[in-house]
């Protein structure tokens, strides 16, 4: 039994067989194609070979300038391998005779070769195996760069990997992959958020551990404590299985709160909204009594797709969400791509500091065609219910004004084309950059509402990459600097009588949610699985107690002190929830 500690990012416990996804370990699902499409699939494969060969030949030329002859030799060897007629025939035969996708044909043949080279044992042959893997990656990229479907074997598996991008996470095969664990990553990374959205237990930031794992052992991923246990003994397995059952029964009890209002003991009403990433999540929102969607991260439509989603596809997705929420408000955030949510329209060239780079609204404003398409789809969906539009990561007045101007133009275009667009559409901005907090009184007259994105606000206030496990200790929502900025933002919005909510992950922890209410927040938006717990906490406390909690929290000098104080006070105020809250 081997026990390791990481960062718990998505609650729940997963028990399954180890499935390692290292750089060499993508498993491509066997995908059958229609036999009538065989010829088309072969042509696609041949075009991909040509495309990859052209890319490699360019790399060969460039590398000889930049890195010298030996690197050039490697690329040129790759190119030869790629154009090897024997390989090509094997791939084509698989497609033609077995009617499998080009991706599967490429991957399965090359996998066989790589394994064979590796089994020969010599370092030189291992290098050949790595070359084969590189060819595979090149070809898969040329085949459309489709996000690779990571799938398990026959049994339920827990995926272990160095890292997992949000795109890869979206594409996990949920039938087979019951949880995951990565060597790197932090609590508010987008991968972590996707994991919570998908309700898949996850632990990240464990550090180097993949090399210590062998065979196909069982593994437990504890998304509550951040522990992973490899090859657990019978007693541990039993206690975890019992824990799962106990949690299911607690969750069933919480369900009784679904239709009760989220109000404090003195009758102050709090609005509880849900954060979603995928249209399919609306069912979970309604099951947990969400009063609306406070944050729809629409960029996940891009991350999960092979090609850029067109207006009609987006319109259908947005319309589905608005209709399913049946008259409840839906706040749709415009694209927040870039940084860790790469793909689609995100910059192709690597940036030195992607989180400080061309991401979010900056990217949308640079790509007006893409931005307009999204705005058109949203405005068309607004005909079906109370849809509000929110711009992410606004840092300057200029950005807000440009975004609003584009929105107005798109509205005019749609009207000219005969679409019926609501005359009034509520437009808001996210406050997730300290500059926006400091300038808030200038922004407020130009928006209908704001939503505080604490995930990024913490990152940009503390100068700490939200996905980097090496500085995860500095990423603290309870840091006094963050609390002061939150207070400033909330006070300013309340002074201007502008609706203000918090939609960052801070809303989802009952203790922190109570403190936010004490700071003056009356609308919280959290992932659906957190809603009932937060409601339970709200219904157990008076508004006066939340205010005292917030006032005292603001007096400390360190995040640790704030943490300790909040835990202790929470246990006193809401004793029935203090364990695991
Ligand atoms: C935030 O930054 O708090 C937020 C809600 O946006 P995201 O997590 O998608 O960056
Ligand atoms: Mg954000």
pLDDT tens-place string over residues 527-557? 998 999 999 999 999 999 999 999 999 999 9
Percentage of residues in the chain having pLDDT higher than 70: 88
Residue 79: other Cβ atoms inside 10 A: 20
Q: What is the pLDDT of residue 24?
A: 45
Ligand with minimal distance to 335 CA: 1
Query: What sign does the dihedral 437-442-444-447 (CA atoms) show?
Result: negative
Q: What is the pLDDT of residue 23?
A: 46
Exposed / middle / buried, residue 240 (Cβ in 10 Å: 0-12, 13-18, 19+): middle
Active site residue 190: yes
Best residue among 170, 194, 432 to mutate for probing ligand 1's pocket (most ligand atoms within 8 Å of CB) is 432
**What is the mean predicted confidence (pLDDT) over 68-77?**
61
pTM, whole model, 2 decimals? 0.72
Please name each of the domains of the chain with its CATH number.
Answer: 2-17+149-233 (3.50.30.10), 24-142 (1.10.274.10), 250-269+472-575 (3.20.20.60)
Contact 328, 321 (CB under 8 A): no
Extended beta strands in 303-394, E state: 330-333, 387-391
Ligand with minimal distance to 393 CA: 2
Q: Catalytic pick from 78, 190, 285, 478?
A: 190
Q: What is the pLDDT of residue 426?
A: 98
pLDDT tens-place string over residues 86-98? 888 889 999 999 8
Structure tokens at 526: 């959290």
Instruction: Report whether pLDDT(131) > 90.
Output: no
**What is the mean predicted confidence (pLDDT) over 68-75?**
58
Instruction: Report whether pLDDT(45) > 80.
Output: yes
Ligand with minimal distance to 189 CA: 1
Q: Catalytic pick from 78, 285, 478, 503?
A: 503
- From the alpha carbon of 193, which atom of ligand 1 is closest? 8
Contact 432, 485 (CB under 8 A): no
Mapped onto helix, strand or coil, the DSSP state of residue 500 is: strand
Q: What is the pLDDT of residue 581?
A: 37
Q: How far is the CA of 458 from the centre of ligand 2 (A)?
A: 10
Q: How confident is the model at residue 419 (pLDDT cuts 50, 70, 90)?
A: very high
According to DSSP, the residues that pair with 229 across neighbouring strands are 3, 220
Q: How far is the CA of 231 from the centre of ligand 1 (A)?
A: 36
Instruction: Report whether pLDDT(321) > 90.
Output: yes
**What is the mean predicted confidence (pLDDT) over 124-136?**
66
What is the crossing angle of helices 102-119 and 85-98, to 10°?
Answer: 130
Q: What is the pLDDT of residue 210?
A: 84
Q: What is the pLDDT of residue 149?
A: 54
Q: How far is the CA of 504 from the centre of ligand 1 (A)?
A: 5
Q: What's the whole-number average pLDDT of the chain?
A: 88
Phi and psi (nearest 5°) for 175? -65, -35
**What is the mean predicted confidence (pLDDT) over 412-433?**
95
Q: What is the pLDDT of residue 122?
A: 56
Q: How far is the CA of 335 from the centre of ligand 2 (A)?
A: 11
Query: What sign does the dihedral 325-326-328-330 (CA atoms) show?
Result: positive
CA distance 365 to 466: 24
Residue nearest to atom 8 of ligand 1 (CA): 455
Best residue among 303, 364, 453, 459 to mutate for probing ligand 1's pocket (most ligand atoms within 8 Å of CB) is 453
**What is the mean predicted confidence (pLDDT) over 95-121?**
80
Structure tokens at 186: 């932090």
pLDDT tens-place string over residues 168-222? 787 788 888 999 999 988 877 778 888 887 889 999 999 988 878 766 789 999 9
Q: Which residue has the higher pLDDT, 213 or 505?
A: 505
């Amino acid at each position: 039994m081997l026990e390791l500690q990481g960062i718990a990012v998505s609650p729940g416990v997963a028990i399954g067989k180890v499935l390692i996804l290292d750089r060499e370990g993508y498993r491509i699902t066997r995908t059958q194609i229609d036999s009538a499409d065989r010829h088309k699939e072969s042509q696609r494969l041949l075009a991909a070979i040509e495309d990859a060969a052209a890319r490699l030949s360019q790399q060969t030329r460039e590398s000889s300038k930049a890195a010298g002859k030996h690197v050039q030799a490697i690329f040129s060897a790759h190119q030869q391998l790629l154009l090897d007629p024997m390989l090509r025939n094997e791939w084509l035969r698989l497609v033609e005779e077995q009617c499998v996708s080009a991706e599967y044909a490429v991957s399965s043949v090359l996998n066989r070769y790589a394994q064979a080279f590796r089994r020969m044992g010599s370092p030189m042959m291992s290098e050949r195996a790595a070359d084969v893997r590189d060819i595979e990656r090149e070809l898969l990229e040329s085949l459309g760069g489709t996000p690779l479907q990571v799938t398990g074997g026959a049994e339920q598996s827990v995926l272990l990997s160095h890292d997992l991008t949000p795109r890869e996470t979206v594409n996990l095969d949920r039938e087979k992959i019951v949880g995951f664990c990565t060597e790197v990553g932090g609590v508010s990374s987008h991968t972590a958020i996707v994991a919570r959205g998908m309700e898949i237990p996850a632990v990240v930031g464990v550090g180097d551990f993949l090399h210590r794992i062998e065979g196909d052992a069982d593994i437990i991923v504890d998304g509550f404590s951040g522990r992973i246990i490899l090859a657990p003994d019978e007693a541990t397995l039993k206690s975890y299985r019992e824990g799962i059952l106990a949690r299911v029964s607690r969750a069933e009890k919480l369900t009784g709160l679904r239709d009760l209002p989220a109000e404090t003991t003195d009758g102050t009403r709090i609005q509880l909204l849900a954060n979603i990433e995928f249209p399919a999540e609306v069912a979970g929102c309604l099951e947990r009594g969400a009063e609306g969607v406070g944050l729809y991260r629409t960029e996940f439509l891009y991350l999960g797709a092979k090609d850029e989603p067109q207006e009609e596809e987006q319109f259908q997705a947005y319309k589905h969400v608005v209709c399913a929420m049946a008259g409840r408000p839906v706040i749709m955030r415009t694209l927040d791509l870039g940084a860790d949510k790469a793909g689609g329209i995100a910059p192709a060239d690597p940036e030195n500091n992607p989180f400080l780079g061309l991401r979010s609204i900056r990217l949308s404003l640079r790509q007006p065609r893409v931005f307009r398409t999204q705005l058109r789809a949203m405005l068309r969906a607004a005909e079906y219910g109370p849809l509000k539009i929110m711009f992410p990561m606004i840092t300057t007045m200029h950005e807000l004004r440009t975004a609003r101007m584009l929105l107005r133009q798109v509205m005019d275009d749609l009207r000219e084309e005969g679409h019926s667009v609501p005359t009034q559409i509520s437009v808001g901005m996210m406050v997730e950059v300290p500059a926006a907090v400091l300038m808030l009184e200038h922004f407020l007259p130009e928006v209908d509402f704001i939503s505080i994105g604490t995930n990024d606000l913490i990152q940009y206030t503390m100068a700490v990459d939200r996905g980097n496990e090496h500085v995860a200790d500095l990423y603290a929502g309870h840091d006094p600097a963050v609390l002061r900025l939150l207070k400033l933002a909330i006070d300013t919005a309340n002074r201007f009588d502008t609706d203000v909510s918090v939609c960052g992950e801070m809303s989802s922890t009952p203790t922190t949610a109570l403190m936010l209410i004490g700071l003056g927040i009356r609308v919280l938006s959290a992932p659906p699985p957190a809603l009932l717990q937060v409601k339970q906490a709200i219904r157990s406390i008076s508004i006066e107690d939340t205010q005292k909690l917030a006032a005292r929290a603001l007096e400390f000098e360190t995040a640790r002190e704030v943490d300790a104080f909040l835990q202790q006070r929470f246990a006193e105020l809401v004793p029935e929830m203090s364990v695991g809250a």
